[in-house]
Structure 1
């Protein structure tokens, strides 16, 4: 029997991986065999995931808390699943989805088919939901802009001395850098304001 590994991913450094770790330890996955990435799942260029792929050998088992910890992109999840299970001949166990346990399903053709089919359905549903969320966000932003809602930081008020300093700059008596410093603003801001007027 091969070695048991675990993979944990959270999207940001602020998110906590503890829930995933507890589930993997209960499996049990040895603590030293768990690879953790604190990075977006938009692609598979993740340092710990790539390191994990290099150590996996035929007969090993990879344990995940949920399929979305592997990734977010439908096609890429399916491609990684194929690489791990078919090319590397490593079992995958997804704790939140018992049907995605290739140790059990991999023994016969029907089991393999069921696991692959379930994975495709789940990946499709997850990607469709992400696309729906993006579409709703886009529609919400467009509707808010129509109502006059402004996004981003509120515009900075121009100092009272702006016009006077701008005129001095226009005459070439001071540089834009010096003008910005006198107004205590960034040089880019000064130039933008000067060209807007």
Structure 2
């Protein structure tokens, strides 16, 4: 016999679940409502994972939620979760999305699957658009910084003019590395970075 569950979530322990639970109780018994007080940025939430676990949802069961973002705030995760419900023959009812609540005659369940497939495609498109927008903003930020003459990444080393001479004397054991750093006024990390590049390429960094 199929079971009816509800799922409610808020992002922190300070927030209240009362409003969601009251709405869900119109369709679900209170003791069948699973709750989480945790961010929707992750799917690894104890209540939600219990629902999907061995003691939770089974083929033919129904899960009610108030809105899609109660499952996740990540569009790509939402798409994958809806597909998971489809594959496991679990009906997902979203109170804020009336098309997901339609009842169809026996033998016409394909209508429900069509609605869910459209929702998956919409979520996938939104997720892809958000990724593209993020990448575009990153590119624009880099280009704007370059126009302003800002150097992105690790700062360039300022290499003293006397580095080749000090390096040669240090390699000839005329003094220690510590003395070489003192003469060049370089920190150990900077000194060895320049040495490594000098020995690899036969030249020091471009003077700045």
> TM-score if structure 1 supplies the norm length?
0.58
1:48 match: secondary structure: helix
- Give matches, 1:136-151, under 5 Å: none
- Give matches, 1:30-179, under 5 Å: 30-54=29-53, 55-86=56-87, 88-101=88-101, 104=104, 107-122=108-123, 124-125=125-126
**Is 1:6 aligned to 2:31, yes or no?**
no
**Is 1:16 aligned to 2:16, yes or no?**
yes
Shift in CA distance, 119/22, structure 1 to aligned 2, threshold 3 Å: farther
How far 1:15 moved relative to its partner? Answer: 1.5
Query: Aligned partners of 1:103, 1:123: CA distance in 2, in Å?
Result: 25
Larger radius of gyration: 2
How far 1:95 moved relative to its partner? Answer: 0.7
1:117 match: secondary structure: helix
Contact 1:91 1:101 survives alignment (8 Å): no
Shift in CA distance, 29/113, structure 1 to aligned 2, threshold 3 Å: same
1:99 match: secondary structure: helix
Deviations 1:6-52 (A, max 9, x none): 010111111111111111001x2011111101000112100000111
RMSD: 3.2
Contact 1:65 1:94 survives alignment (8 Å): yes
Count, aligned residues: 138
Query: Aligned partners of 2:92, 2:78: CA distance in 1, in Å?
Result: 13
Contact 2:104 2:111 survives alignment (8 Å): no
> TM-score if structure 2 supplies the norm length?
0.55
Deviations 1:111-130 (A, max 9, x none): 42232213442565488679
Query: Aligned partners of 2:124, 2:95: CA distance in 1, in Å?
Result: 16
Structure 1: runs of 5+ lacking an equivalent:
140-197
Contact 1:5 1:33 survives alignment (8 Å): yes
Query: Aligned partners of 1:103, 1:77: CA distance in 2, in Å?
Result: 23
